[in-house]
Amino acid sequence: MEPVRKLSNDELFRLSNEQSKKLTRESIVTALVLLFAEKPYDKITVTDIAKKAGVSRTAFYSNFENKDDVVKEFGKNVINELNGFFSGERYDGDGRALLLAVFSTIKQNPERAKVLFGSRQMVYEILGGSTYLDSIMPVKDRFDVYNYLATEAALKKIIVEWYKRGMKESPEEMADYCSELSKKIIVGGENV
C-alpha cells in the first residue's frame, strides 16, 4: 500500500478550479431545467438562467456561448445515459427491453424530455446522427447500415411525437409497437 501523499497548493488550486467550473456548468444546466417548468424556452433569457443558477452573466458566458449550448450540454448528458442502454450488456440483443428502457426513462422524467423536445434545438442535433443499431447488430450486407439509420430515424420521430401527444400509451405498448415496426424495416425481419 502506497503512503498517502499530501497535495501541493498548486494541485489543490487546480482541483478546486476544475470542480468550481463543473459545479457552475451543472448549476446552469439545472437552472434551465427548472425554468422550463415555469415558462417556454423562447421566453427564457440568459439572465433568467444565470439568476436561477446563482451565477453572474459573466460566469454563464465563460461556460456557454448561449442558451442553446446549455440545451446541447443537457442533451449530451442525457445521451450519455442513454448510451448505457445501447451499449450495456443487459440489453444484449433484446431490442424490446432496450426500447422499454428508453420509453420508461422518458415517462419517468418528463421534465428532462421537456428540455430536449421543447427547445428550438433540433432533436436530431441533440440526439446525434450516429446509429446505435450497427453497434449492437451485425452488418450482414452493404444496405444494413441504411436500414438501421431508417429504423433509428423512425424511432426518434416516434419518441418525440409520443412525448408531444402526452405519452398516453404506456412504455410497454410503445416498446411493443416500435419493436414490431423495426422488424418490418430491417431486412430479414430481425428484431432491433
For every residue of 6-33, DSSP letters joined together read: PPPHHHHHHHHHHHHHHHHHHHHHHHHH
pLDDT at 155: 85
**Nearest one of 172, 188, 90 to 136, comparing CA atoms:** 90
Q: Sketch the domain layout of the chain as residue ranges.
A: 7-64, 67-192
pLDDT at 42: 87
Q: Which residues contact 169 (CB under 8 A, 6 or more apart)?
A: 162, 177
pLDDT at 41: 85
pLDDT at 14: 58
Taking CA atoms, 95 is separated from 31, 85, 115, 129, 136, in Å, by: 34, 10, 26, 19, 9
Summarised one tens digit per residue, pLDDT across range 88-102 is: 555 556 678 878 888
HSE-CB at 189 with a 13 A cutoff on CA atoms is: 0
For residues 20, 24, 25 and 28, what is the CA-based torsion angle, rounded to 10 degrees? 170
pLDDT at 49: 96
16: buried, middle or exposed (CB in 10 Å: 19+, 13-18, 0-12)? Answer: exposed
Domain spanning 7-64: CATH 1.10.10.60: yes
pLDDT at 118: 67
Taking 70 as the pLDDT cut, the residues of the chain under it are: 1-15, 79-94, 118-139, 186-192
**Nearest one of 92, 94, 78 to 163, comparing CA atoms:** 78
Copy the grid coordinates of residue 44.
427564457
36: buried, middle or exposed (CB in 10 Å: 19+, 13-18, 0-12)? Answer: buried
